[in-house]
């Protein structure tokens, strides 16, 4: 492949934001080189490609860098028009997908992270909020799917599927570490069957770290927030030095 | 053509964005003023999740969230494009729109703070505005390039709302010497007829934000 057309993805194996981009690239059948970044010792390249946020994921295409996972997903959809679309054609349907994607990103993800990082009363409060948001999402899905079963496979995963998958693909690990079941088929039948469906998609399965590794990630995030010294986290020049950032991908 | 309605609030920059986009596209619409303290059934029906303005109602279909509305407008009325054709340029526009949204609260934190906290807020705001000026705007006349685009619309609040924020908070952050390019951009944006003719009344905004600041500070004192 000519150098200019080469696609590179700078990422980190435990990052759900990076996972989103990987799923999209694989669904579109776009070959890419994955560059594992050590987030404690960020490479010069990363700082050059993402000077504003200094974070992963960063997509490099035609020598140019695109940052922010949701921006990258839209870029991928607009650049590689062959292969399954990540957004519907119709502007109103696109608006609905963007709305619920934004909801998952801002209302759900933030609150799930709050549950991970808290305990006691604060955690109970956060859990309550997550359940409220899940209820809203379940209602929203009824409207979005309009009573039809939303069939997902490697050919039709879209931005909303990808973003929800990046959050709840690890729901079993979340359950084990947090002791709370968010993806409850009795409370949220549509959402639960949807999550089950996309975790079965071959591309998602292939990219999902093993359960034990995911449990480790959530345990680490929790320890880091609640008991940093116990997490084996050393603060060096204001940065958490950890073993997580240096573990190998799979 | 299907009817277009906008539920908005006169002091909301999110509302203004949608007005500018509709007018730049030459789309006729009916404006409905919402009172945030007395929300209408219409608003609650058309934005049940967030219950906020702006909401665009097009042929009975509701689209909430200003950034989503802007993309919808761009896709539905392709005349006078507000996003570039090139995918990379579009990604850049979206990146900066997202950045502006995420950092707006921090840039406006001077409004909700006083004393030492406010000094910290000034420093943070200055840092962020510098990033926006140097890396977002750069040497361009507009965020959109030679002409106004969604990026300019999304950052528009910097051009008229922020000076009111500064005034009522008794601070100066976005000054011409520190931010020459942003200042030039503000002047250019205010000259665009659609923007010039569709800004909220300055005095009314000053009064409104003055009252809001008093409420914020009173709450702060309660907690101290």
Residue A246 scores a pLDDT above 60: no
pLDDT digits (tens, 9 = 90+) for A162-192: 999 999 999 999 999 999 999 999 999 999 9
Residue A97 scores a pLDDT above 60: yes
Facing residue for B99 by CB, picked from A51, A52, A91: A52
Helix axes A159-168, A91-103, angle to 10 degrees: 10
pLDDT, average across residues A124-134: 97
Average pLDDT across chain A, whole number:
88
User: Which sign does the torsion angle of CA B147, B150, B155, B159 carry?
Assistant: positive
| Contact between A78 and B65 using a beta-carbon 8 Å cutoff | no
pLDDT digits (tens, 9 = 90+) for A151-164: 777 678 899 999 99
Q: Please give the residue of chain B at the shortest CA–CA distance from A62.
A: B88
Provide the shortest C-alpha distance from residue A231 to chain B (in Å).
30
pLDDT, average across residues A49-73: 95
Distance of CA B38 to the CA centre of its chain: 22
Pair B142, B152: CB distance under 8 Å = yes
Residues contacting B106, CB < 8 A, separation 6+? B121, B124, B125, B128
pLDDT, average across residues B76-87: 96
Residue B22 scores a pLDDT above 70: yes
pLDDT, average across residues A224-237: 65
Average pLDDT across chain B, whole number:
95
Provide the shortest C-alpha distance from residue A64 to chain B (in Å).
8
pLDDT, average across residues A3-14: 86
Residue A238 scores a pLDDT above 50: no
| Contact between A99 and B68 using a beta-carbon 8 Å cutoff | yes
Residue A250 scores a pLDDT above 50: no
Residue A2 scores a pLDDT above 60: no
Query: Which structure tokens are listed for A199?
Result: 């975790």
Contacts B91 to A, Cβ<8 Å:
66, 71-72, 74-75
| Contact between A91 and B87 using a beta-carbon 8 Å cutoff | no
| Contact between A95 and B63 using a beta-carbon 8 Å cutoff | yes
Q: Please give the residue of chain B at the shortest CA–CA distance from A100.
A: B49
pLDDT digits (tens, 9 = 90+) for B136-161: 999 999 999 999 999 999 999 999 99
Backbone angles phi, psi at B10, to 5 degrees: -55, -30
Chain A interface includes B77 (CB < 8 A): no
pLDDT given for residue A228 in this prediction: 77
| Contact between A102 and B65 using a beta-carbon 8 Å cutoff | yes
Facing residue for B64 by CB, picked from A64, A75, A99: A99
pLDDT given for residue B193 in this prediction: 97
pLDDT given for residue B219 in this prediction: 85
Confidence of residue A83 (pLDDT cuts 50, 70, 90): confident
Chain A interface includes B21 (CB < 8 A): no
Cα angle B177, B183, B185 (rounded to 5 degrees) comes to: 150
d(CA A42, CA A226): 25
Confidence of residue A82 (pLDDT cuts 50, 70, 90): confident
pLDDT given for residue B159 in this prediction: 95
pTM (two decimals): 0.92
ipTM, 2 decimals?
Answer: 0.94
pLDDT, average across residues B200-218: 94
pLDDT given for residue A231 in this prediction: 59
pLDDT, average across residues B162-191: 97
Residue B178 scores a pLDDT above 60: yes
d(CA A12, CA A248): 10
Pair B40, B34: CB distance under 8 Å = yes
pLDDT given for residue B4 in this prediction: 98
pLDDT given for residue B58 in this prediction: 98
Distance of CA A230 to the CA centre of its chain: 27
Q: Please give the residue of chain B at the shortest CA–CA distance from A138.
A: B49
Contacts B135 to A, Cβ<8 Å:
51-52
For residue A172, give the H/E element and its range: helix A171-178
d(CA B139, CA A90): 36
d(CA B16, CA B22): 10
Confidence of residue A146 (pLDDT cuts 50, 70, 90): confident
């Amino acid at each position: 492949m000519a150098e200019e057309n080469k696609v590179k993805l700078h990422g980190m194996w435990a990052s759900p934001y990076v996972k989103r981009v990987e799923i999209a690239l694989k669904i579109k059948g776009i070959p890419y080189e994955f560059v594992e970044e050590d987030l404690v010792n960020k490479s010069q390249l990363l700082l050059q490609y993402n000077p504003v946020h200094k974070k992963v994921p960063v997509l490099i295409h035609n020598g140019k860098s695109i940052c922010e996972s949701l921006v990258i997903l839209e870029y991928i959809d607009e650049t590689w028009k062959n292969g399954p679309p990540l957004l519907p054609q119709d502007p109103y349907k696109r608006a609905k997908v963007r709305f619920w994607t934004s909801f998952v990103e801002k209302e759900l993800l933030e609150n799930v992270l709050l549950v991970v990082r808290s305990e006691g009363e604060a955690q109970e409060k956060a859990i309550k909020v997550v359940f409220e948001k899940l209820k809203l999402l379940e209602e929203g899905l009824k409207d979005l799917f309009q009573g039809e079963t939303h069939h997902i496979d490697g050919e039709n995963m879209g931005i909303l599927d990808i973003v929800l998958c990046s959050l709840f693909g690890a729901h079993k690990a979340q359950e084990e570490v947090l002791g709370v079941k968010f993806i409850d088929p009795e409370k949220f039948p549509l959402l639960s069957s949807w999550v089950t469906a996309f975790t079965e998609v071959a591309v998602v399965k292939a990219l999902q770290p093993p359960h034990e590794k995911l449990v480790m990630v959530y345990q680490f995030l929790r320890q880091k927030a609640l008991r940093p010294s116990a997490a084996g986290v050393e603060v060096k020049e204001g940065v958490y030095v950890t073993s997580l950032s240096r573990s190998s991908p799979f | 053509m299907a009817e277009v309605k906008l539920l908005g609030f006169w002091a909301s920059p999110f509302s203004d964005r949608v007005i500018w986009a509709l007018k730049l596209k030459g789309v006729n619409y009916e404006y409905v003023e919402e009172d945030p303290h007395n929300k209408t059934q219409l608003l609650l029906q058309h934005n049940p999740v967030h219950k906020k303005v702006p909401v665009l109602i097009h042929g009975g279909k509701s689209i909430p969230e200003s950034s989503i509305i802007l993309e919808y407008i761009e896709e539905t009325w392709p005349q006078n494009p507000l996003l570039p054709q090139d995918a990379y340029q579009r990604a850049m526009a979206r990146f900066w729109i997202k950045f502006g949204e995420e950092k707006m609260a921090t840039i406006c934190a001077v409004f909700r703070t006083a004393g030492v906290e406010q000094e910290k807020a000034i420093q943070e705001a200055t840092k962020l505005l510098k990033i926006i000026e140097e890396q977002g705007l750069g040497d361009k006349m507009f965020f959109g390039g030679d002409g106004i685009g969604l990026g300019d619309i999304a950052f528009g609040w910097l051009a008229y709302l922020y000076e009111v924020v500064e005034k009522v908070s008794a601070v100066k952050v976005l000054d011409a010497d520190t931010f020459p390019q942003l200042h030039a951009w503000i002047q250019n944006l205010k000259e665009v007829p659609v923007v010039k003719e569709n800004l909220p009344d300055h005095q009314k905004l000053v009064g409104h934000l003055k009252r809001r600041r008093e409420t914020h500070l009173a709450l702060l004192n309660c907690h101290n």
